């Protein structure tokens, strides 16, 4: 859990001036071609992940877009010697904020997403997709196969479909370097579950494609997640489904103006059915 402390902080990029105080982007080097770009001062404490191959790089998520003085695209471009394609872990507002600044945007080749592409490859996101009134149209320039590895140039990345937080959620795995990037499925803070069965299945999928020698990175809070968290989250969801009363606490929380229950079991906290809060 404390492995994050061993990361090398190679740079702090500061907005030159403007509406935000302090250091907006924090860059951590996992290795010479993998970076975590975090926004610790943002509303959701997001992290994005830059995965660089010899021909192409993928940036997983576009950041919040809350810093109007310097974009996530500018920061990612400063780190990558090869062209970057933006790939979104899912379409919620806090992951797509900086998407319009990217020239190349990829889409996982999931049939239910491909069916929504227009003739000129536009994916029109809805309020339900983004959980906000601020919708967006994405010009898709590349499709990434799901399940089989994609080649970035001497670097292969596997895209897995891992719904449960959102229907379109994906996880990226670098098997050679043993990294797993889980988006909003697994991270250290309060988890938001939309579909318990899908969530459990997605945890099983990640488990089936990895082992405890892999390092997991999530999109909110402290980026690195202990591998054991996978099993803990699964156990907590199963307890919820069973109604076995084994939770340490069940607390009420006002979530975007709507009262919700937060279930706590050990260091796992989650809320179920959060998307109804955003129904308009
Ligand atoms: Zn989300």
For residue 147, pLDDT over 60 is answered with yes
Distance (Å) from CA 66 to ligand 1 centroid: 16
For residue 275, pLDDT over 50 is answered with yes
Q: How confident is the model at residue 278 (pLDDT cuts 50, 70, 90)?
A: low
Distance (Å) from CA 184 to ligand 1 centroid: 5
Of 169, 226, 221, 179, the closest CA to residue 39 belongs to 221
Distance (Å) from CA 1 to ligand 1 centroid: 22
Distance (Å) from CA 53 to ligand 1 centroid: 26
Distance (Å) from CA 169 to ligand 1 centroid: 8
Cβ count within 10 A of residue 50: 23
Distance (Å) from CA 175 to ligand 1 centroid: 24
Distance (Å) from CA 47 to ligand 1 centroid: 12
Distance (Å) from CA 115 to ligand 1 centroid: 22
For residue 279, pLDDT over 60 is answered with no
pLDDT of 23 reads 87
Dump the DSSP string for 195-263: -HHHHHHHHHHHHHT--TTSEEE-SBSSSEE-THHHHHHHHHHHHHHHT----SEEEEEEETTEEEEEE
Distance (Å) from CA 105 to ligand 1 centroid: 18
For residue 11, pLDDT over 90 is answered with no
For residue 6, pLDDT over 80 is answered with no
By CB atoms closer than 10 A (0-12, 13-18, 19+), residue 8 is: exposed
Angle at 182 between CA 176 and CA 89, to 5 degrees: 110
What domains are defined for the chain?
Answer: 2-232 (3.60.15.10)
Question: Are 229 and 268 a contacting pair, CB within 8 Å?
Answer: yes
Q: By three-state DSSP, how is residue 277 classified?
A: helix
Per-residue model confidence as pLDDT tens digits over 85-117: 999 999 999 999 999 999 999 999 999 999 999
Q: Over the Cα atoms of the chain, what is R_g?
A: 18
Distance (Å) from CA 166 to ligand 1 centroid: 7
Q: How confident is the model at residue 16 (pLDDT cuts 50, 70, 90)?
A: very low
Distance (Å) from CA 119 to ligand 1 centroid: 28
For residue 19, pLDDT over 50 is answered with no
For residue 10, pLDDT over 50 is answered with no
Distance (Å) from CA 182 to ligand 1 centroid: 11
Distance (Å) from CA 90 to ligand 1 centroid: 7
Distance (Å) from CA 173 to ligand 1 centroid: 19
By CB atoms closer than 10 A (0-12, 13-18, 19+), residue 32 is: exposed
Per-residue model confidence as pLDDT tens digits over 32-81: 999 999 999 998 899 999 999 999 999 999 999 999 889 999 999 999 99
Phi, psi (5° rounding) for residue 78? -70, -15
- Which parts of 53-177 are beta strand (E)? 57-60, 84-87, 105-108, 122-124, 137-139, 142-144, 149-151, 156-161, 170-174
Question: Are 110 and 161 a contacting pair, CB within 8 Å?
Answer: yes
Residues 6 or more apart whose Cβ sits within 8 Å of residue 167 = 112, 194, 195, 198
């Amino acid at each position: 859990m404390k492995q994050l402390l061993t990361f090398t902080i190679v740079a702090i990029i500061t907005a030159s001036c403007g509406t935000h105080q302090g250091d907006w982007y924090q860059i951590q080097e996992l290795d010479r071609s993998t970076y975590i770009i975090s926004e610790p001062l943002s509303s959701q404490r997001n992290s994005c992940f830059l995965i660089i191959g010899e021909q192409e790089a993928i940036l997983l998520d576009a950041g919040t877009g809350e810093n109007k003085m310097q974009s996530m695209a500018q920061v990612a471009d400063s780190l990558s010697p090869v062209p970057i394609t933006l790939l979104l872990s899912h379409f919620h507002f806090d992951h797509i904020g900086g998407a319009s600044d990217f020239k190349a945007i990829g889409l996982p080749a999931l049939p239910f997403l491909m069916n929504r592409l227009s003739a000129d490859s536009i994916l029109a996101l809805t309020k339900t997709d983004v959980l906000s009134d601020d919708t967006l149209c994405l010009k898709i320039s590349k499709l990434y196969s799901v399940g089989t590895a994609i080649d970035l140039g001497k670097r292969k990345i596997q895209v897995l479909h891992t719904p449960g937080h959102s229907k379109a959620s994906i996880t990226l795995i670098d098997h050679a370097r043993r990294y797993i990037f889980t988006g909003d499925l697994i991270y250290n803070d309060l988890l938001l579950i939309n579909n318990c069965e899908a969530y459990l299945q997605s945890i099983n999928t990640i488990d089936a494609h990895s082992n405890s020698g892999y390092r997991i990175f999530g999109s909110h809070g402290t980026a690195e997640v202990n591998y054991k968290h996978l099993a803990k989250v699964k156990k907590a969801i199963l307890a919820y489904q069973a109604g076995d009363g084994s939770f340490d606490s069940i607390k009420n929380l006002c979530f975007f103006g709507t009262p919700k229950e937060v279930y706590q079991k050990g260091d796992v906290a989650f809320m179920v059915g959060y998307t109804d809060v955003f129904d308009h």
